[in-house]
Amino acid sequence: MATSRRPSKARASPPEPARINSPPAREVRNTGAHGWGLHNRLSRFLRPDGRTVMLAVDHGYFLGPTSRLEVPRRAVTPLLPYIDSLMCTRGVLRSSVPPESTTPVVLRVSGGPSVVGPTLADEHITTAMKDALRLNCSGVGMSIFVGTAHESQTIRNLGDLVTEGEEAGMPVLAITAVGKELEKRDARYLGLCTRIAAEIGAHVVKTYYCEGFDKVVEGCMAPIVVAGGPKLPEKEALELTYNSVTAGAAGVDMGRNIWQSEHPVAMVQAVRAIVHDDHDVKEAWQLYGELSRD
Ligand code: 5RP
């Protein structure tokens, strides 16, 4: 998907109010056929430009108190003004986000295994659709583990969740999880996973960036958001963001590379500047430097 250049801005633009009647400037795939409620919820976090900056803070559901996310509220609060949605569990939401918040929430609804168990793949749906509705969420997210002993179970979880989501008007984000096997992240494998997720009916698919990522995007009928993965130097995380959106991703659902940054508020704005304001890596890196000094 081509991106048009716009004049660079000194600061990343904060989220604008939803303009659901405005057609997106960029193509937003696979949103029209699901009814107004689902489209409306999706439009809360997939912005009118067809892009999104999602903040992932769901790591504790299998990792426990991850570094810099020990007290989720401390990580989340300063970042809320700069994101298009927060991806978290209901435990983090209820304890760490004020109910007055207007930031859209994509609720992590799968889980089960922990990092000290035999496999991370043996996931189930742990939070019901009615809870996501009661919590006024804009989407639900769950993982599939393709190529593991639990692939069929997790893909069935996705199918069931999409069926419930379409009944409720709730978009479903499918995450092509790799567990501890980070080396699996290549275009052939991720192309397979993302295509399966789209075929089963996911409304948005979250995956990893890789060499040949444009082919992954091409083969997936749903919009793709990219996870950041383990912490990288900030400039490399900006490169990952830039390469992802120029290859056709709708944006990021990034966690550690934002809230484990030395300057999380500067980092989220630099990422936002790439995703929404067409900054290149040099411009975003410069912005990060300026904002880090503020
Ligand atoms: C794990 C997840 C995480 O939310 C995801 O990995 C995003 O966080 P990070 O950018 O830290 O990788 O979905 O399966």
* Beta carbons of 163 and 172 less than 8 angstroms apart: no
pTM of the model: 0.90
Residue 281 domain-assigned (yes or no): yes
Ligand 1 atom closest to residue 228's alpha carbon, by position in its atom list = 10
Compute the half-sphere exposure of residue 23: CA atoms within 13 Å on the CB side of its CA. 3
Question: Quick one: pLDDT at residue 180?
Answer: 72
Residue 23 domain-assigned (yes or no): no
**Residues at CB less than 6 angstroms from ligand 1:** 56, 58-59, 143, 175, 177, 227-229, 253-257
| Number of domains present in the structure of the chain | 1
CATH number of the domain within which 43 lies = 3.20.20.70
Active-site annotation, residues: 206
Residue 19 domain-assigned (yes or no): no
Ligand 1 atom closest to residue 87's alpha carbon, by position in its atom list = 4
> What does the longest C-alpha to C-alpha distance in the chain come to?
51
List of the chain residues with pLDDT < 50: 1-10, 17-26, 31
Residue 3 domain-assigned (yes or no): no
**Whole-angstrom Cα distance, residue 210 to residue 192?**
13
Residue 22 domain-assigned (yes or no): no
Question: Quick one: pLDDT at residue 29?
Answer: 53
Which residues partner with 254 through β-bridges? 55
Residue 90 domain-assigned (yes or no): yes
Residue 16 domain-assigned (yes or no): no
Which residues partner with 204 through β-bridges? 173
Instruction: Write down the H helix ranges in the chain.
Output: 36-45, 60-63, 72-76, 90-96, 129-134, 151-168, 187-200, 213-218, 234-246, 256-259, 264-277, 281-293
**Nearest CA to 86 among 48, 49, 137, 37?**
137
Which residues partner with 52 through β-bridges? 251
Name the residue range of residue 256's domain: 32-293
> Residue 17 is encoded by which pair of tokens?
């109010």
Q: What is the rounded end-to-end Cα distance, in angstroms, of the chain?
A: 35
CA of 256 to the centre of ligand 1 (A): 8
Residue 242 domain-assigned (yes or no): yes
**Whole-angstrom Cα distance, residue 54 to residue 142?**
15
